[in-house]
Amino acid sequence: MTESATTTMPATSTARSTRNSSIVFDNVTKTYPGQTAHALDSLSIEVRSGELVCLVGPSGGGKTTALQLVNRLVDLSSGEIRIGDTNIMDLSPIELRRTIGYAIQQSGLFPHYTVAENIATVPTILKWDRKRIEARTKELLELVGLTPVENWLKRYPGQLSGGQQQRVGIARALAADPPVMLMDEPFGALDPITRVAVQDEFLDIHRAVGKTTLFVTHDIDEAIKMADRIAILKPGGLLAQYDTPAEVLARPADDFVAEFLGAERGLKRLALTTVAEVLAAGRDRRGSSPVAAAAGSTEAGNPVSAAEWPEVSATMTLREALSLVSAAHAQGARVMDAGSHLGDVTLHELICPPADDPARTTEGARI
């Protein structure tokens, strides 16, 4: 009885891990045999427990190498990598890999296994009993949004769209509840619309399960959206900058980073803040009069009055809201949430978000 109770309650296994599962790169260098240039050069970063770090950089910058060093698909040349307090060299590669979730571009799903069999790969080699595997498989399909699960269990990867394959790939990587996830451009082959949807789902999953995640992408927008911190590698495998998306965008460490972020760096930064946050900050500043900002609209012969400003939703990013405001030739936007008018934001507030001002963020933190 106790036995069946524990095996049918796998939900607890996706709970946030309290163990230390940080990934530490300590002066890690990799040179492939027969090559003079380093693929990765003295990389020292720490991915903290539960953190999602994106590794970005140009093609050939050593991102995949860095990732594969962690699960020992590639051997270190020098330096040390630790997961938690364990040096990865202290475990056998096979043991190590079974504690690391691994998802790659094109999903790497086994074409000859059904969805259920794919997800059950690691639990099966770990010899979980059948009931527990079944329950876990269903739980994971629900987690990645492939419901009702009965419709998906018996399909082959060839019968799934790219986005569905990536969802199954994520479920498979999570199957044995590894404390650490490595993802190598998992969404790289998806069309833009599917990619955004899968990114959003993955972020939700990440927040729910809190795995320490090292996520490789060459898409800086993806990194800005997903990452707690971004590590930017330059050719030759040198770390150019390691910081939060906001910091990287506000203060690129060097010309390489600035160029990598692109000319739209200023706009990309606006994608980090939601309209709701600006609205809240604006209220703090003006007391609680939400429409005071309307004053801005009388300037410069503006053709659209505050009452006709476009409607934006509170959950939109400033970048999205700005796009609507620009399209409407307006000086601000009306913030709506489920049909009710929450307040207005001005063009100025949209392009100079409060998060930009270090003084205000500290002030905000104190309140």
Q: Which residues bind ligand ADP (CB under 6 A)?
A: 32, 35, 39, 57, 59-65
For residues 122 and 224, which CB has a smaller minimum distance to another protein in the complex? Answer: 122
104 binds, among another protein, Mg ion, ligand ADP, none (CB under 5 to 8 A by kind): another protein
**Angle between helix 162-174 and helix 130-143 axes, rounded to 10 deg:** 130
For residues 62 and 332, which CB has a smaller minimum distance to ligand ADP in the complex? Answer: 62
Pick the closest to residue 84 from 25, 28, 20 (CA basis).
Answer: 20
Least Cβ distance, residue 109 to another protein (angstroms): 8
Check if the beta carbon of residue 104 is closer than 8 Å to that of residue 184: yes
For residues 42 and 114, which CB has a smaller minimum distance to another protein in the complex? Answer: 114
Check if the beta carbon of residue 331 is closer than 8 Å to that of residue 304: yes
Pick the closest to residue 184 from 70, 43, 17 (CA basis).
Answer: 70
For residues 90 and 254, which CB has a smaller minimum distance to another protein in the complex? Answer: 90
62 binds, among ligand ADP, Mg ion, another protein, none (CB under 5 to 8 A by kind): ligand ADP
Q: Number of residues in contact with another protein, rule: CB under 8 A?
A: 32
Check if the beta carbon of residue 122 is closer than 8 Å to that of residue 176: yes
CA end-to-end span of the chain: 51
Among positions 3, 95, 150, 255, the unique one binding another protein when judged by CB under 8 A: 95
Least Cβ distance, residue 229 to ligand ADP (angstroms): 18
Among positions 48, 98, 218, 319, the unique one binding another protein when judged by CB under 8 A: 98
Check if the beta carbon of residue 186 is closer than 8 Å to that of residue 218: no
Query: Binding to another protein by residue 151, rule CB under 8 A?
Result: no
User: Which pair of tokens denotes residue 201?
Assistant: 């789902």
User: Which pair of tokens denotes residue 293?
Assistant: 């900002």
Instruction: Return the SS3 of 87.
Output: strand
Map the footprint of Mg ion across residues 63-122, applying CB under 5 A.
64
CB burial readout 29-54, b (16+ within 10 A) else e: bbbeeeeeebbbbebebebebbbbbb
| Contact string 53-72 vs another protein (x = CB under 8 A) | ---------------x--x-
Q: Are strands 23-30 and 40-47 parallel, antiparallel or unpaired?
A: antiparallel
Map the footprint of another protein across residues 155-214, applying CB under 8 A.
155-156, 158-159, 169, 172-173, 182
Using CB under 8 A as the criterion, which residues of the chain lie in contact with another protein when the complex forms? Answer: 68, 71, 73, 94-98, 100, 102-113, 121-122, 125, 155-156, 158-159, 169, 172-173, 182
